[in-house]
Amino acid sequence: MANIRALLVGLSRARGSLAEAGRCASIRPSLLASLGGHYKLPMPARWFSSAGLPPHLVVGMPALSPTMNQGNIAKWRKQEGDKIEVGDVICEIETDKATLEFESLEEGYLAKILAPEGSKDVQVGQPIFVTVEELGDIKSIPADASFGGEQKEEQPTESAPQPDVANVSEQSSAVSRISPAAKLLIKEHGLDMSSLRASGPRGTLLKGDVLAALKSGAVSSSAKEKKAPAAPSSQPTRDSQAQPATTSQKADTYEDIPNSQIRKVIAKRLLESKQTTPHLYLSKDVVLDPLLAFRSELKEQHGVKVSVNDIIIKAVAIALRNVPEANAYWNSEKEEAQKCDSVDISIAVATEKGLMTPIIRNADQKTISAISSEVKQLAEKARAGKLAPNEFQGGTFSISNLGMYPVDHFCAIINPPQSGILAVGRGNKVVEPVVDSDGNEKAAAVTKMTLTLSADHRVFDGQVGGKFFTELASNFSDIKRLLL
């Protein structure tokens, strides 16, 4: 056991340098690229045996991605008192990229959960749970023992006294402990503890208990009366002639929408991209009829069902292979464009938590049916929040397709350090002059689609952009080029 402790201490010290190295690597080949969906990463852990407590391990929030500096506790798979084996999934952590399963590095028993389920913005390194070696040691850890994991959430955001929150454990025999998140909700809504019931281990009142009481309306009238008089007192004198009913209605016309870690990172990266990347925009209309005919032929004659987007991915990949200057990214350290060895296409997938970009690697070397199958699998994993780091980190070029919506054309934002993203609009029937086999010009209806390239002007100049669109247009007009 001493050897295992020494190993954990060494891993804990190495965690910071590994995470920093991953951040410096941006989204180029990542330190996590070889990992799957389960994580046995070095985690901030400390062994203690002083202060009258049995030997215990304090485990902090791990850094599960290079850009992660905080995370949310999505779900606890183990509860206090449960036996933990090496490799057991202890909890699910929502990072800035996906929801990942956190595995244990050592056996023991889960003695105390410091960050309850639903905890938001837990900083990397902040203690989230405590383990002990023996089951009997759990009883030796007092319920009010502090390990540093609850201090941040307990800090009041206002200078006003909190007598009701401080003595809540004395006001109800059913509640012996209160989670930090539950305390904040009690204070915010001015709830009476007599109307709340705890469902957590050993009488712990959880955030879910308070939310359930609020939704069901099981709140005492005294709590509501305390909260009601506060509204009119904040009205300024110049609005004394306004009706109180109007003020109450205005206060209820908005709703705060909690932001996920993924959306926070998306917002930060999009802003960074627009501020630091010189965007060059190029557009071209391509005729979609050969692609649609080819898709119908695959279905009718070969029983292969693929989407228009699957064929577009293949067409873009072939164009990037034939114009290697476009399949590059800007190296900020060397301050020069660097060509990529493989053609890895990132595809935009909308999820409830935000936009994810899983990657089709070596897309130029795969068949359209293989691309179609892989796109479906990655899209399902993205919507379920189960993408592994190697499935969304990296990529050399992105495609954002809104053709399924009434969007004719749009300009997408580059995903750094990639040098380009192609925005795909919907196909529209238009009438234009065409030349028939006899050389006569006549009017004909064709389906056209607008493609808009957003490119990093440090990598793409007008010539590179023109060569890329020339190759791409050829792939659409002569669809059999995709089979070569």
Residues acting as catalytic residues: 457, 461
Is 357:398 a contact under the CB 8 Å cutoff? yes
User: How far is it, in rounded angstroms, from Cα 168 to Cα 165?
Assistant: 5
Main-chain dihedrals φ then ψ at residue 27, nearest 5 degrees: -110, 20
User: How far is it, in rounded angstroms, from Cα 64 to Cα 344?
Assistant: 23
Token pair 């609009």 is found at 425
For residue 324, say if its preceding peptide bond is cis, omega within 30 degrees of 0: no
In sign, the C-alpha dihedral spanning 111, 109, 99, 207 is negative
Label residues 256-287 b or e (16+ Cβ within 10 Å = b). eeeebbbeebbeebeeebeeebebbebebbbb
User: How far is it, in rounded angstroms, from Cα 438 to Cα 297?
Assistant: 27
Sequence-separated (6 or more) residues with CB below 8 Å from residue 314: 363, 364, 366, 368, 371, 482
Strands 108-113 and 83-84: antiparallel
Q: How far apart, in Å, are the Cα atoms of 276 and each of 7, 104, 272, 339, 417?
A: 42, 40, 6, 20, 11
Nearest residue to 39 via CA among 81, 119, 98, 79: 98
Is 171:50 a contact under the CB 8 Å cutoff? no
In the three-class reduction of DSSP (H, G, I as helix; E, B as strand; rest coil), residue 46 is classed as strand
